[in-house]
C-alpha cells in the first residue's frame, strides 16, 4: 500500500501495545498478541486450509527475514527451531530439506539421527526460523504506523459496521478483530504459559507428546526471558492461571531445557524451584472453525443515505494461534481485496 494512504487510515482498537518487554504487570486475556511466545513453527500442509496458511506463512517468512536483517530492533530474531515428536504422522515423516524449504521458505532442515533423540521421541528435526519478542514487535509496528501519519482511536466497538460512524466518507473497514463480532463459528482456545528467567535458551524447542499435549521453550530475545509452555484448550473461558498447570509446564520444560543450548557451558536448572517466574500468562487465541475468514462483505446502511454505494467490510479474523506466523501473508490478501475498493473512489 502506498505510504500516501497512511494519513487516511484510522486504526481503532480497545487495547493497545504497552508493557515492559518480558515482564508484563497486567494484561487482558482477550488481547493475546502482546503475550504470545512467539515463534514461526510450520506444520505440514495436509489440508486445503493448511495449504492456504502455508502460503501466508511463506510470505511472512520473507518479511521476517528482511526485518531480522535490516531492522533487528523490531524484535524479530533468527534462531534455530527444533521439533521432537513422540508419534509423528506420515506427513511429518515424509518431510525433507527440499519439501520443507519449498513449503515454508525456511532453510536448514535436518532430520536428527536416532542417537540425537531424547528418550521416547520417534522423530526429531531442526530448521532455521524466527522468534519474535511480541511486546517489542507490536510496539514497533504501531510506532512506524503513527510516524508515517496513521491515526489511532481507542474505542470498544460493538460491531464492525459501527466503524463507519467514526469518520466522514469511510471507504471501507477492515475487520481484523481477532474473534469477529458475534461470529458463531469463532471460539476461544485458552493458552497458558510461563515467562521465566531462562535467558540462556537460544533455540525454540517443541516436543509433541503421544497424548496430544506438548512442551515448548521460546526465547524472547532482547532480555525478555523465555516462554515455557504451553496449553491448547478449546472453548475454555478461564481467565486465571492454574497453579497445577504452571507446575506441569515448568517440569516438562526443564526436561527439554538442556537441549536448548547444548554447549556444555550452562548448568541446567534441575528443579522448578530454581526457575525464576516473571509472569504467568493466560491468553485466548481467537480461533474459527474452518480457518480464517478473509472476504469482502457489503451491505447498505440506512443511516448513511449520502452514500451512493454499499458499505464494504474486509473480514480478516480467526487466525487462532498462528497470528504471527501468517500475519504478512494475510495482510497481503487484505491488500488484494482492498485494491478494487480503492480504485472505485
Per-residue pLDDT, 6: 60
Percent of the chain surpassing pLDDT 90: 78
Longest CA span, the chain:
72
| pLDDT tens, position by position, 144-175 | 999 999 999 999 999 999 999 998 889 999 99
Q: Can you tell me the distance from the alpha carbon of 209 to that of 85, in angstroms, rounded to the nearest whole number? A: 6
Per-residue pLDDT, 21: 47
Q: Domains in the chain, start-ordered, CATH in brackets? A: 10-343 (3.30.9.10)
Q: How is 31-84 classified by DSSP, letter by letter?
A: -GGGG---B-------SHHHHHHHHHHHHHHHHHHHHHHH-GGGSEEEEEEEEE
Contacts of 101 (CB under 8 A, 6+ apart): 107, 109
Per-residue pLDDT, 4: 63
The residue written with cell numbers 515455557 in the block is 228
Amino acid at each position: 500500500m502506498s505510504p500516501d494512504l497512511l494519513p487516511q487510515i484510522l486504526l481503532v482498537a480497545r487495547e493497545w501495545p504497552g508493557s515492559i518487554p518480558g515482564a508484563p504487570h497486567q494484561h487482558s486475556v482477550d488481547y493475546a498478541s502482546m503475550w504470545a511466545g512467539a515463534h514461526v513453527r510450520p506444520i505440514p500442509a495436509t489440508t486445503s486450509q493448511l495449504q492456504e496458511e502455508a502460503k501466508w506463512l511463506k510470505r511472512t517468512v520473507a518479511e521476517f527475514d528482511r526485518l531480522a536483517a535490516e531492522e533487528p530492533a523490531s524484535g524479530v530474531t533468527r534462531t534455530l527451531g527444533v521439533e521432537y515428536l513422540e508419534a509423528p504422522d506420515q506427513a511429518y515423516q515424509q518431510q525433507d530439506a527440499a519439501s520443507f524449504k519449498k513449503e515454508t521458505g525456511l532453510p536448514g532442515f535436518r532430520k536428527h539421527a536416532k542417537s540425537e533423540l531424547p528418550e521416547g521421541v520417534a522423530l526429531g528435526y531442526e530448521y532455521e526460523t524466527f522468534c519474535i519478542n511480541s511486546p517489542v514487535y507490536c510496539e514497533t509496528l504501531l510506532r512506524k504506523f503513527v510516524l508515517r501519519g496513521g491515526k489511532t482511536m481507542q474505542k470498544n466497538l460493538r460491531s464492525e459496521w459501527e466503524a463507519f460512524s467514526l469518520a466522514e466518507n469511510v471507504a471501507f473497514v477492515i475487520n481484523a478483530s481477532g474473534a469477529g463480532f458475534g461470529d458463531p463459528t469463532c471460539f476461544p482456545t485458552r493458552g497458558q504459559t510461563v515467562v521465566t528467567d531462562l535467558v540462556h535458551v537460544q533455540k525454540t524447542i517443541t516436543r509433541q507428546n503421544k497424548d496430544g499435549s506438548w512442551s515448548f521453550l521460546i526465547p524472547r530475545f532482547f532480555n525478555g526471558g523465555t516462554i515455557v509452555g504451553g496449553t491448547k484448550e478449546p472453548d475454555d473461558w478461564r481467565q486465571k492461571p492454574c497453579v497445577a498447570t504452571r507446575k506441569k509446564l515448568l517440569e516438562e520444560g526443564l526436561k527439554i531445557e538442556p537441549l536448548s543450548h547444548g554447549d556444555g557451558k550452562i548448568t541446567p536448572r534441575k528443579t522448578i524451584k530454581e526457575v525464576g517466574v516473571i509472569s504467568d500468562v493466560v491468553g485466548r487465541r481467537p480461533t474459527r472453525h474452518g480457518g480464517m475468514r478473509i472476504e469482502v462483505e457489503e451491505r447498505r446502511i440506512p443511516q448513511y443515505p449520502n452514500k451512493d454505494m454499499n458499505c464494504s467490510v474486509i473480514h480478516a479474523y480467526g487466525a487462532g494461534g498462528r497470528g504471527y506466523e501468517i500475519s504478512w501473508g494475510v495482510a497481503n490478501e487484505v491488500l488484494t481485496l482492498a485494491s478494487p475498493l480503492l480504485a472505485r473512489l
